[in-house]
Amino acid sequence: MRALLIVLDSVGVGNAPDAANYGDAGADTLGHIFAHKTDLSLPTLFSLGLGEILAGRVHDGASKRYGASYGRMRERSAGKDTTTGHWEIAGVILDEPFTVYEKFPARLVEAIETEAKVEFIGNYAQSGTVILDQLGAEHCKTGRPILYTSADSVLQIAAHEDVVPLKRLYEICRIARRICNPYRIGRVIARPFTGKRGKFVRTAGRHDYSMVPPRTVLNAISEAGFVVEGVGKIGDIFARSGVTHAHPTKSNDEGMKAIERLWHSTHEGLIFANLVDFDMLHGHRRDVQGYAHALVAFDEWLRDFIEEVEDEDLVIITADHGNDPTFRGTDHTREEVPLIAISDGRTGPIGVRETFADVAATLAQFFHIKEKWPVGKSFFDFNRKPVRHFRPRK
Q: What is the pLDDT of residues 7-40, one digit of tens each?
A: 999 999 999 999 999 999 999 999 999 999 999 9
Q: How far apart are CA 209 and CA 197, in angstroms?
A: 28
- Report domain extents, the chain: 2-92+213-366, 106-210
Give 246-294 pLDDT, tens digit per residue.
999 989 999 999 999 999 999 999 999 999 999 989 999 899 999 999 9
Mean pLDDT of the 200-221 span = 93
Instruction: Identify which of 334, 327, 302, 330 has the alpha carbon closest to the alpha carbon of residue 317.
Output: 302
Q: What pLDDT is stored for residue 111 in this prediction? A: 98
Per-residue pLDDT at 129 = 83
For 2-92+213-366, give the CATH class.
alpha beta
Q: For 61-81, what is the HEC assignment?
A: CCCCCCCCEEEEECCCCCCCC
Own/partner contacts of 118-123, CB < 8 Å, gap of 24 or more, are 118/144, 118/145, 118/172, 119/144, 120/144, 120/145, 120/146, 120/147, 120/157, 121/145, 121/146, 121/147, 122/146, 122/147, 122/148, 123/147, 123/148
Please state whether beta strands 187-194 and 207-210 pair in parallel, antiparallel, or not at all (unpaired). Answer: antiparallel
What was the pLDDT predicted at 372? 86
Give the DSSP H/E element, type plus range, for residue 210: strand 207-210
The 10s digit of each residue's pLDDT in 47-103 is 999 999 999 989 876 556 799 999 999 999 999 999 999 999 999 999 888 998 999
| Per-residue confidence (pLDDT) for residue 62, from 0 to 100 | 52
Which residues in 23-50 are b (16+ Cβ under 10 Å) and which e? ebeebbbbbbbbeebeebebebbbbbbb
In CATH, what number does 106-210 get? 3.30.70.1250
pTM, 2 dp: 0.90
Fold agreement (2-92+213-366, 106-210): no
Average pLDDT of the chain is 93
- Cβ neighbours of residue 87 under 8 Å, at least 6 residues apart? 77, 94, 213, 216, 237, 238
In this prediction, residues 168-180 reach a mean pLDDT of: 97
Cα dihedral 16, 18, 24, 30, rounded to 10, equals: 0
The residue type found at 148 is Y
